[in-house]
Structure 1
Amino acid sequence: MTNTEEESRAEKESGIAAMAYDVALRGLQLQDTTVANQRLRASNLLSVSALGTSFAAAASRFHVSNLATPGKVLASLAIAVMVVIGILCLLILKPSYWDVGPSIRDILNPPPGDLNHVKANLARQLDAAYQENKSTIEKFALLYEASIVLLVIQIGLLVALAIFR
């Protein structure tokens, strides 16, 4: 291989390693944004649920003795659903382990090798962190979807409660 061919190969490897590192880093940044958005949505969902239950409780407070038995059951179910929504939202909101990739120590004290090898190794570590975080994001999405379904059920219960008043 000539010097020119070696230099061309080294430039290509350098570009690929840099690109892999940038893509892996961007993936982790997008995951962080996704989790922040999911937590914000969970907070909003919990607020809507609590607002609906508070409204129903305040409206029925003055008419508790007039509530028919089905109305008392519906009110109790609406409150129970709000509690479950609250628990699901708190599971999303609670701090969780989040892998952000290689430690600074790994970057400052790289293993022997050329810079391309180091960049490629860092990109692999970032990808491993991305894969590990992916399951947490999927869990948050499932909890959020369950909360949405429960919110719809809660609204149905509150509407039914209004009818039975």
Structure 2
Amino acid sequence: MKLLIISDTHGSHINVDKVLEKEEGMDLLIHLGDVEKGEDAIRYSVNCPAHFVRGNNDFFSDLPREKELFLEGWHLFLCHGHAYYVSVGEEQLKREARGRGADIVLYGHTHRPVIHREENLLILNPGSLTHPRQEGRRPSYMILVLEEGKEPEAWIKYL
């Protein structure tokens, strides 16, 4: 199963459209918050199911704050991250993910891409397609491939 993971688009769909043109064969799209009322446009643009969570800038949104998905034998915990203070560290987020029994935690908010694994937890952040903050400030997203019985594979990709 091939997942496209994006976050922090902040109402701009120019780079979302570029990613959708570039990436083919997606089975699922995950948006990790700060959509800013763009979820309907994104849902309309993709040819696969899409899951969204609410970010700190998704005012008056009825999107869920968090989600848990079970895909290909893996337990994923999705959130924007701001409620777990990810801007100052991942400790609270990791504690919550482990408490839920998650194998993979996906978050946004920091606008900086992250892939790392520790103590049976894969931690992923696709960065931002609209306002990147990492060195070089290139818009980023992530591809995650899940297959039952195999270790997940994740890649940070840039526009």
- TM-score category, normalised to shorter length: under 0.3
Q: Which has the higher contact order (CA 8 A, sep 6+)?
A: 1
Q: So what's the TM-score if we normalise by structure 2?
A: 0.21
Between Structure 1 and Structure 2, the one with more helix by share is 1
Bigger Cα Rg? 1
Output the TM-score relative to the length of structure 1.
0.21
Comparing both structures, which one devotes a greater share of its residues to strand? 2
